[in-house]
Amino acid sequence: MTTEVDYYEILGCERTADDATIKSAYRKLAMKYHPDRTGGCSESEAKFKAASQAYEVLKDPQKRAAYDRYGHAAFQQGGMGGGGGGAQDFGAFSDIFESVFGEFMGGGRGSAGGRPNRRGADLRYDMEISLEEAFDGKSTDITIEVSAPCDSCEGSGAKPGTSAKTCRTCSGHGKVRAQQGFFVVERACPSCHGAGQIIEEACTDCRGEGRVDKPKTLTINVPPGVDEGTRIRLSGEGEAGARGAPSGDLYIFLHVKRHEIFKREGTTLYAHAPISFTTAALGGEIEIPGLDGEVHTIKIAPGTQSGREQRQRGAGMPVLQGRGRGDLVVRIDVETPTKLSPRQRELLEEFRTIETGEECPQSQGFFSKIKAALG
> Would the annotation count 203 as a binding residue?
yes
> Would the annotation count 360 as a binding residue?
no
Reported pTM = 0.57
Contact 190, 48 (CB under 8 A): no
Contact 242, 260 (CB under 8 A): no
Per-residue pLDDT of the chain (375 residues; tens, 9 = 90+): 445 788 998 999 988 888 889 998 998 888 888 776 776 687 888 888 888 889 988 988 888 888 887 777 777 644 444 333 333 333 333 333 333 334 333 344 344 344 445 788 889 999 999 999 999 999 999 998 888 888 888 888 888 888 888 888 888 888 888 776 666 778 888 888 777 888 888 888 888 888 888 898 999 999 999 999 899 999 999 888 877 778 889 999 999 999 999 999 999 999 999 999 999 999 999 999 999 889 999 999 999 999 999 999 999 999 988 889 999 999 999 999 989 999 999 999 999 899 887 777 776 666 677 777 776
> Would the annotation count 170 as a binding residue?
yes
Distance CA 177, CA 152 (A): 35
Q: Which domains does the chain have, with CATH numbers?
A: 263-373 (2.60.260.20)
Contact 125, 251 (CB under 8 A): yes
The pLDDT value recorded for residue 318 is 94
Nearest C-alpha neighbor of 174 from the set 95, 103, 122: 103
> Would the annotation count 189 as a binding residue?
yes
The pLDDT value recorded for residue 76 is 63
> Would the annotation count 41 as a binding residue?
no
Q: What are the CB-based long-range contacts (under 8 Å, 24+) for 260-268? A: 262/131, 262/291, 264/131, 264/227, 264/317, 266/227, 266/317, 266/326, 267/225, 267/316, 267/317, 267/318, 267/319, 267/325, 267/326, 267/327, 268/316, 268/317, 268/326, 268/327, 268/328, 268/329
Q: Which residues of 77-88 are buried (b: 16+ CB within 10 A; e: fewer)?
A: bbbbebeeeeee
